[in-house]
Amino acid sequence: MKYRQLGKTDLNVSEVGFGAWTVGTSWWGKIEEAQGINLLRQAFDLGINFFDTGDTYGEGYGEEILAKGLKQQRHDIVIGTKFGYDFYTHVVREGHRERPQRWTPGFIRYACEQSLRRLDTDYIDLYQLHNPKLDAIENDEVFDTLDELVKEGKILHYGFAIGPDIGWEEEGTAAMEYREAQEMQIIYSILEQDPARAWFPLAEERQTGLVTRVPHASGMLDGTYTKDTVFDASDHRSHRRQEWLSASLAKITQLDFLMENMDSTIGQIAIKFALSGGMVASVLPNITNLPQLREFAATSETEDIPQEFLERLSELYDENFLVEAEATSLP
């Protein structure tokens, strides 16, 4: 495993990190606690030292399982978590509908204390605003409170997790320009290159460390989906999803030159691509089993993508991979 400094912070993070949402929620299928703890410990043994979670994942469980799995390694790992969603008073959530957010000083302090308790630690390495909108980024009280928490030693650094989906270019730009973000977590993959590409020059100028997630584009670049995949007909979105799958698979056929000229797996190439972005320090793939973990963790030791291939991937993206534009985004 190789490590990179996270922007202008003093944090050195593994090039491949572990997003604890896969073991702290059921979004990618049910993972039993013992299996999740084993994945976390195996990840540490393979050199992964950056573990990212959020207070809303599993209503706190995504933090609790980190403590259960890695408490003995606390001072050898970097923990990132997130705050901003009020799941304490807004308990009921319909599907993936976004919960209300709160950015008051009192709520930020309360959320931080609850995260510290669940993580069973007295400090958080990286405390991130979770999907903030412009009003939160422009709110001085938010950052006065975070600066106080830094002075108190409860958090070491704070940053921004921008999302929840592709987009939010205005918020990311404001975080770097107006708040001089130390860190920003973004989506970036071969199939989803914007708006990340627009942020890279500014991130380099401001020395904002970047963490990227979803390098495998919702399973398209790790073998999860194939031409034989059929979505359940009971899903009212199944027709739309099937169109998305067909269009995405058509895009992937344009990537054969990577597989023909590189020894890495497509899953490793996807992570290497994400690592090629300016100021990117760590990539967070979705890890749900041991074979996946071993494959992704070995990415650091694989060959870099040649510059001419990176340029070709940029050109292909601009050309929509020579595929008709409709039904190319996941519904």
The 10s digit of each residue's pLDDT in 175-224 is 999 999 999 999 999 999 999 999 999 999 999 999 999 999 878 898 77
Looking up tokens 């959320």, which residue turns up? 111
CB-neighbour burial class of residue 46 (10 A; exposed 0-12, middle 13-18, buried 19+): middle
Question: Who has greater pLDDT, 141 or 244?
Answer: 141
| HEC profile of the chain | CCEEECCCCCCEEECECEECHHHHCCCCCCCCHHHHHHHHHHHHHCCCCEEECCCCHHHHHHHHHHHHHHHHHHHHCEEEEEECECCCCCCCCCCCCCCCECCCHHHHHHHHHHHHHHHCCCCEEEEEEECCCHHHHCCHHHHHHHHHHHHCCCEEEEEEECCCCCCCHHHHHHHHHCCCCCEEEEECCCCCCCCHHHHHHHHHHHCCEEEEECCCCCCCCCCCCCCCCCCCCCCCCHHHHHHHHHHHHHHHHHHHHHHHHCCCCHHHHHHHHHHCCCCEEEEECCCCCHHHHHHHHHHHHCCCCCHHHHHHHHHHHHCHHHCCCCCCCCC
Q: What was the pLDDT predicted at 236?
A: 44
Q: pLDDT digit string (tens) for 94-118?
A: 655 678 899 999 999 999 999 999 9
Q: What is the mean pLDDT of the chain?
A: 91
Q: What was the pLDDT predicted at 65?
A: 97
Handedness of CA 40, 41, 44, 50 (dihedral sign): positive
* Position 93 confidence tier, pLDDT thresholds 50, 70, 90: low
Q: What was the pLDDT predicted at 260?
A: 94
Q: pLDDT digit string (tens) for 16-38?
A: 999 999 998 877 678 899 999 99
> Which string of b and e fits 180-213 if b means at least 16 CB within 10 Å?
ebbbbbbbbbbbbbebbeebbebbeebebbbbbb
Q: What was the pLDDT predicted at 231?
A: 60
Q: pLDDT digit string (tens) for 214-253?
A: 999 878 898 777 666 666 655 444 555 667 778 888 899 9
* Position 120 confidence tier, pLDDT thresholds 50, 70, 90: very high
**In angstroms, rounded to a whole number, what is the distance separating the alpha carbons of residues 87 and 322?**
43
Helix axes 169-177, 196-206, angle to 10 degrees: 0
Entry pTM: 0.91
In angstroms, the first-to-last Cα distance of the chain is 35
Q: What was the pLDDT predicted at 237?
A: 43
- Whether residue 171 has pLDDT greater than 70: yes
Q: Which of 49, 50, 41, 45 is nearest to 69 (CA)?
A: 41
Q: What was the pLDDT predicted at 26?
A: 79
Q: What was the pLDDT predicted at 331?
A: 45
